[in-house]
Amino acid sequence: MKVAVVGLGYVGIPVAAVLASKRVRVVGVDIDLRKIDAISAGRSPLEGREPGLDELVAKGVASGHFTATSDYGAADGSDAIVVSVETPVDDQTHDPEYKALKSALRSLAPHIARGALVSIESTLAPGTMAGIVRPILERGSGLKAGRDFHLVHCPERVTAGKLLHNLTTLDRVVGVADDRGRRKAFALYSKIVDGALHATDWTSAEITKTAENAYRDVQIAFANEVALICEDLGANAFRVRELVNTCPGREMLTPGAGVGGHCIPKDPWLLVSPVLHQKPVLIPAAREINDYMPVRMAQLVEEAMRETGRRIRGSRVAVLGFSYRENTDDARNSPAIALIRELRKRGADVTIHDPFAKGQRGFSVLREVRAAVKGTDCIALVTAHDAYRKLDLAKLRRWMRHRAIVDGRNLFDGAIAKRGFVYRAIGKGEF
Ligand SMILES: NC(=O)c1ccc[n+]([C@@H]2O[C@H](COP(=O)([O-])OP(=O)(O)OC[C@H]3O[C@@H](n4cnc5c(N)ncnc54)[C@H](O)[C@@H]3O)[C@@H](O)[C@H]2O)c1
Mean pLDDT of the region 90-112 = 97
The model's pLDDT over 131-190, given as tens digits with 9 standing for 90+, comes to 999 999 999 999 999 999 999 999 999 998 899 999 999 999 999 999 999 999 999 999
Q: What is the pLDDT of residue 275?
A: 82
Query: Is pLDDT above 90 for 323?
Result: yes
Instruction: Please check whether residue 264 is in contact with residue 293, taking contact to mean a CB–CB distance below 8 angstroms.
Output: no
DSSP assigned state of 110? G
The model's pLDDT over 286-297, given as tens digits with 9 standing for 90+, comes to 999 999 999 999
Q: Which atom of ligand 1 is nearest to the CA of 87?
A: 41
Confidence band of 117 (pLDDT split at 50, 70, 90): very high
Instruction: Say how far apart CA 215 and CA 262 lie, in whole Å.
Output: 16
Q: How far is the CA of 42 from the centre of ligand 1 (A)?
A: 20
Query: Is pLDDT above 80 for 431?
Result: no
What percent of the chain lies above the pLDDT cut of 90?
Answer: 95
| 289 three-state secondary structure | helix
Mean pLDDT of the region 331-355 = 97
* Beta carbons within 8 Å of 383's beta carbon, 6+ residues apart: 320, 321, 322, 323, 324, 325, 326, 334, 336, 354, 409
Q: For a pocket test of ligand 1, which of 11, 32, 44, 323 has the largest count of ligand atoms closer than 8 A to its C-beta?
A: 11
Q: How far is the CA of 64 from the centre of ligand 1 (A)?
A: 24
To the question of pTM greater than 0.85 for the whole model, the response is yes
* Beta carbons within 8 Å of 371's beta carbon, 6+ residues apart: 351, 353
Q: What is the pLDDT of residue 430?
A: 84
Q: Transcribe 383-425 into DSSP letters.
A: ---HHHHT--HHHHHHH-SS-EEEESSS---THHHHTT-EEEE
Instruction: Say how far apart CA 406 and CA 302 lie, in whole Å.
Output: 10
Mean pLDDT of the region 27-50 = 95
Tell whether the torsion through CA atoms of 239, 244, 247 and 250 is positive or negative. negative
| 107 three-state secondary structure | helix
Q: How far is the CA of 4 from the centre of ligand 1 (A)?
A: 14
Query: Is pLDDT above 90 for 48?
Result: no
Q: For a pocket test of ligand 1, which of 13, 86, 98 has the largest count of ligand atoms closer than 8 A to its C-beta?
A: 86
Q: Which atom of ligand 1 is nearest to the CA of 158?
A: 5
Round the CA-based radius of gyration of the chain to a whole number and report it.
23
Q: What is the pLDDT of residue 321?
A: 98
The model's pLDDT over 225-242, given as tens digits with 9 standing for 90+, comes to 999 999 999 999 999 999
Instruction: Say how far apart CA 385 and CA 359 lie, in whole Å.
Output: 16
Q: What is the pLDDT of residue 386?
A: 96
Q: What is the pLDDT of residue 304?
A: 97
Mean pLDDT of the region 199-226 = 98
Instruction: Please check whether residue 136 is in contact with residue 143, taking contact to mean a CB–CB distance below 8 angstroms.
Output: no
Among 45, 39, 83, smallest CA distance to 65 is for: 39
Mean pLDDT of the region 335-346 = 98
Amino acid at 88: P
Mean pLDDT for all residues in the chain = 97
For the chain, give the number of residues.
431
**How many other C-beta atoms lie within 10 A of the C-beta of residue 142?**
10
Question: Going edge to edge, which strands form the sheet with 422-425?
Answer: 365-366, 349-353, 316-320, 378-381, 404-407, 422-425
Q: How far is the CA of 122 from the centre of ligand 1 (A)?
A: 7
How many alpha carbons lie under 13 Å from residue 228 in its C-beta half-sphere? 16
**How many other C-beta atoms lie within 10 A of the C-beta of residue 37?**
12
The model's pLDDT over 394-406, given as tens digits with 9 standing for 90+, comes to 999 999 999 999 9
Query: Among all residues, which ones are annotated catalytic?
Result: 209, 263
Q: What is the pLDDT of residue 417?
A: 87
30 lines ligand 1 (CB under 6 A): yes
DSSP assigned state of 131? I
32 lines ligand 1 (CB under 6 A): yes
Q: How far is the CA of 13 from the centre of ligand 1 (A)?
A: 10
Query: Is pLDDT above 90 for 47?
Result: no
2-200 CATH, one of 3.40.50.720, 3.30.310.50, 3.20.20.70, 3.40.50.2020: 3.40.50.720
Is 3.40.50.720 the CATH number for 202-431? yes
177 lines ligand 1 (CB under 6 A): no
Confidence band of 300 (pLDDT split at 50, 70, 90): very high
Instruction: Say how far apart CA 70 and CA 246 lie, in whole Å.
Output: 54
Range(s) for CATH 3.40.50.720 in the chain?
A: 2-200, 202-431
* Beta carbons within 8 Å of 171's beta carbon, 6+ residues apart: 193, 195, 196, 197, 198
Which strand (E) or helix (H) includes residue 4?
strand 2-6
The model's pLDDT over 244-291, given as tens digits with 9 standing for 90+, comes to 999 999 999 999 999 999 899 999 999 999 987 788 999 999 999 999
Q: What is the pLDDT of residue 205?
A: 98
Amino acid at 41: A
Burial of 3 (0-12, 13-18, 19+ CB in 10 A): buried
